[in-house]
Amino acid sequence: MKIIFLGTGTSQGIPVIGCTHEVCLSKDPKDKRLRSSIAILHDENTYIIDCGPDFRQQMLNQKITRISSLFFTHFHADHTAGLDDIRPFTQRYGSLPIFAKKDVIDSLKERFDYIFSTINRYVGAPSLITNEIENKPFQIDLLKVIPIEVDHGGLKIFGYRINDFAYITDAKMVSEVEKRKLLNLDILIVNALRIDKHPTHFNLKEALDLIAEVQPKKTYLIHISHKLGFHKEVSKILPKNVFLAYDGLSLEI
């Protein structure tokens, strides 16, 4: 299995439009972050978690020409706004399966009504196969997928465990029950927004506290804002086996 970090930034990305913060002005390519998303390559299939407003550019950057399924963590725009850009995939290869909670699917149907419409359907609209999932394991192709429910400032959203890696974004709290799903991981991918506390996301300390508790072999931090600091400088203060992810990073699992 191969993991590609398509984007590692928070909702505004880095640089933020019009921002003069030193991280936004950085020349280091590892400080330039598209909205958070990953690709999972397994058995000749490519699965995507979240398609935010940078989805098109992410597909072009990684030269991804076909995807098998699309998973959503939640309905916020930085994780869903690129849905229309799946059109080239569905035009070439047919309907694309998507997997999401009911509230996500309901939101997508409202915001992208022309995609889901069955009356006077626009000929260029993407074609989807909608799969509503709950907080229970499900199978897709050869993979067992375990949803992980986390709290995003009062909103219940999903992370995912697939084999011995897990992906969590936008978490502020993880219950003791859900933490058990994070034990015995080879790789944990988890959000760490900034140094200061935030009402709906882990800051760096909260992310590190979770890591210390569930003890994965390696952890990669994502959903990073410019307020966390320079990639090079933050990397120096992280514990052993904890790393800042960056756009384009590829891992073999």
pLDDT at 110: 97
pLDDT at 185: 98
Nearest-CA neighbor of 84 among 132, 127, 33? 127
200: domain range?
A: 2-252
Angle CA 115–38–18, to nearest 5:
80
pLDDT at 123: 84
pLDDT digits (tens, 9 = 90+) for 26-40: 999 999 999 999 999
Low-confidence ranges of the chain (pLDDT < 50): none
pLDDT at 119: 87
pLDDT at 100: 98
CATH number of the CATH domain containing 102 = 3.60.15.10
pLDDT at 34: 98
Q: How far is CA 221 from CA 1, 15, 106, 120, 227, in A?
A: 19, 18, 30, 44, 14
Report the domain count for the chain.
1
pLDDT at 162: 97
Residue the block writes with tokens 């002005």 = 25
Instruction: Name the maximum alpha-carbon separation found in the chain.
Output: 57
pLDDT at 182: 98
